[in-house]
Amino acid sequence: MNSDMIKYLMIGVGVLFAIIVVAYLMLRKKMQSSDIVQIKQLRQGTKENKFSMEILYQKLYVFYIKTPFLKRYLFKIRRRLEIINIDDEYLTRKQTSKILTNALLIIIPLTIVIIFITKNNGLLLSILLIFEIFMIDTLVDGMVDKIDNKLLVQQIDFFAEIRHAYHEYNMVEEAIYQVAQGDSAPEMSRQAEKIYEILISDDPESELEKYYDVAPNSYLKEFAGISYLTKEFGDRTVDKSSLYLKNLNNISQEMQLEILKRDKLDYVFQSLSVIAIVPLLALEPIKNWAVSQFSFTESFYNGKNGMIVQILMVVLTFICYILLRKIKDNGSTKIEVRSDNPWEEKVYKIPIIKQIVDAFVPKEGTKERRKLNNLKKDAASKDKIQWLYVKRLLLTVVTFVGSLVIFTQLHKLQINYIYTEPTSTYNIIGEMTDKDMKQAMEITESDNKFLDMFRGKTDTTQEDIEKEMAKSEDYENSDDDEIETAAKRVLDKLRQVNSEYLSWFEMLMAIVFAVVGYNLPVWLLYFQAKMRQIEMEDEVMQFQTIILMLMRIERVNVEMILEWLERYSNIFKEPISKCVNDYESGPWEALEQMKEEVNYKEFIRIIESLQAAVEKIPIAEAFDELDSEREYYQARRKESNDRLISKKGMIGKGIGFAPMVCLFVGYLIVPLVFIGLTSMTSSFDTMTSMAN
């Protein structure tokens, strides 16, 4: 490169630098103008920091939706939250991502702890990792329930503000609109705006029916329905106060009782799930401690029997964990959110599986089909009968195959233990010294040679082993007594090794377990139906509140009351729905038929009052005791909730502490006592024979 080119290059760089400096000065002068400064000041308060949790959750949402395993849980959470966050996509994504992230922050460290504790026990490690999948559901449901409860608390304050706004505007829709403009309770404001849009729509009745299907809880349904009836038929003055406001007060009282009930249930069950799971994490530490302190227990804990007890502990814990979830939340107040295309439906659509499932599903009109349908209704299950049988057959296959795999692994575990167990006579308490351990392992390695030689030969005798030992270098300097003792020991080991195979009894046990797996989904439905019977009184009292709100509204008739009861019913939904369908053919006869189908005294009393209102007296007179004895019913409702919580708490504590009790009794105390006594008896027999 010559000097002229260098000179031109330097001139060019200088000119470019001068242009940049001039442009910077001009831009700086422009940035200092009043308009730019004002815009900068306006943006200063809204400018997002470099790190924002809001943005992080939105990015995590995109990541989760692309991850196959996490995608299932993401949509499960989202389906429940989008009911609460009406049309607010940003907030729904944020809350969904936040809940799933918090669940993962609990599960991932727990997984690391489980792997660290059970790293030497592959079978137990696999079972515990599978068990964690079910734990995620509980964590997710608990976090979503908190948002649900938050909405319920907001409704209390919202109704209090509605009272003041209604006094001011004396119009239902205007009162709702004004209160919905507040920012203090955004979740409730969205629901209020939705109800306002329904009330001012061209066809509010059909829009209201749509809202009933997606309302987060029954109290918002009641509020929307009462607001619609008041707007359509007008308000009345009862006992010198507005009927609409009295009804709002009734709903508020119901919500307060429900909030107290949920808080008490959360308090009673808050640690039971953890208590039920903790024993699984203590299996390996207890095993290691027992073996280190009492070496005679090593054959139990490191052998087949110890693994069987561990597996039984995992199964017991899993059952207790599922039952605790069913007891705490049996669907009485929780909205059942289920995909229209769950995994059961996807599996059922596979042609060959569809043919197999249809072969097991009871035919229409059969007694078994009717029995299963009634059971599903009693348990408030939304699953199709085909889905139920997909789960039953899948559990059957998984249980049978899993049982065979576990039995096979247990045999391998026992054979491996026989081949690796240090062969020596050592003290009952304490560990062997390094010198004793080395000698014991030498004996084990020597025994293994003869085990491999005769393994699989069931007709082997002690004399056969003695002959081979006499030829072996390991026993060339041993006398006949030592060879006889060693041959007897090897023969005992050989018989154990040859007996470790999949027997007909284990095949029978696998079939029994498969039958249990086949019936387990049905048994869970029975359990859930039984638990729902406990809440029968609570539902009837909710019916009384609904009737109390409706009975003084003009143009309300028995059929309308039945439709409302059907909308909010759970346990009694089937007989009420049947009565509504048969009402046109004969009101009194339809009610009489419903009375014959139920056997709960308090609900029968309601039916009899409805029959009186059909033929004899006005609705307000038929149910006048509900109004006059309102305080008594409220006190009874509180007492009923207390009994319900007490009964659930008692059952829950029994189930929750069962794994812990079985851990210490079945896995620690009983093995120590039984094996210790057996070892002592054996030692005394040996000493006695030596003395003789």
384 CB contacts (<8 Å, ≥6 apart)?
Answer: 344, 345
Q: What is the pLDDT of residue 628?
A: 67
Contact between residue 472 and residue 449 where contact means Cβ atoms under 8 Å apart = yes
- Measured CA to CA, the distance from residue 213 to residue 67 in angstroms comes to 30
Q: What is the pLDDT of residue 460?
A: 80
**In this structure, what are the phi and psi dihedrals at residue 488, rounded to the nearest 5 degrees?**
-65, -40
- Tell me: pLDDT of 330 over 50: no
- Tell me: pLDDT of 555 over 80: no
- Tell me: pLDDT of 642 over 50: yes
User: Domain map of the chain by residue range?
Assistant: 65-270, 347-524
Contact between residue 303 and residue 362 where contact means Cβ atoms under 8 Å apart = no
pLDDT 10s digits, 569-583: 877 888 888 888 988
Nearest alpha carbon to residue 572 among 611, 529, 614: 529
pLDDT 10s digits, 167-204: 888 888 888 888 888 767 777 888 888 888 988 888 88
365: left (phi over 0), alpha (psi -120 to 50) or beta: left
pTM, to two decimals: 0.66
Nearest alpha carbon to residue 251 among 284, 208, 220, 214: 220
Q: What is the pLDDT of residue 332?
A: 39
pLDDT 10s digits, 131-170: 777 677 777 777 887 888 888 888 888 888 888 888 888 8
515 CB contacts (<8 Å, ≥6 apart)?
Answer: 396
Nearest alpha carbon to residue 151 among 228, 205, 208, 223: 223
254 CB contacts (<8 Å, ≥6 apart)?
Answer: 219, 222, 542, 545
Q: What is the pLDDT of residue 428?
A: 45
Contact between residue 182 and residue 161 where contact means Cβ atoms under 8 Å apart = yes
What is residue 667's DSSP assignment?
I
HEC readout, 519-565:
HHHHHHHHHHHHHHHHCHHHHHHHHHHHHHHHCCCCCCCHHHHHHHH
- Which pLDDT band holds residue 341 (cuts at 50, 70, 90)? low
Q: Count of CB atoms within 10 A of residue 267's CB?
A: 11
Q: What is the pLDDT of residue 396?
A: 92
Q: Which tokens sit at 232?
A: 């359509």
Buried b (16+ CB within 10 A) or exposed e, 412-431: ebbbebbeebbbeebeeeee
- Tell me: pLDDT of 345 over 50: yes
43 CB contacts (<8 Å, ≥6 apart)?
Answer: none
- Measured CA to CA, the distance from residue 450 to residue 491 in angstroms comes to 9
Strands 237-238 and 241-242: antiparallel
Q: What is the pLDDT of residue 333?
A: 36
Q: Count of CB atoms within 10 A of residue 490's CB?
A: 25
Give the pLDDT mean for 397-424. Answer: 82
- Which pLDDT band holds residue 337 (cuts at 50, 70, 90)? very low
Q: What is the pLDDT of residue 432?
A: 61
Contact between residue 656 and residue 279 where contact means Cβ atoms under 8 Å apart = no
Give the pLDDT mean for 631-651. Answer: 79
Residue type, 83: I
Residue type, 139: L
Contact between residue 441 and residue 447 where contact means Cβ atoms under 8 Å apart = no
pLDDT 10s digits, 663-677: 888 888 888 887 777
**Distance from first CA to last CA of the chain, Å, rounded?**
112
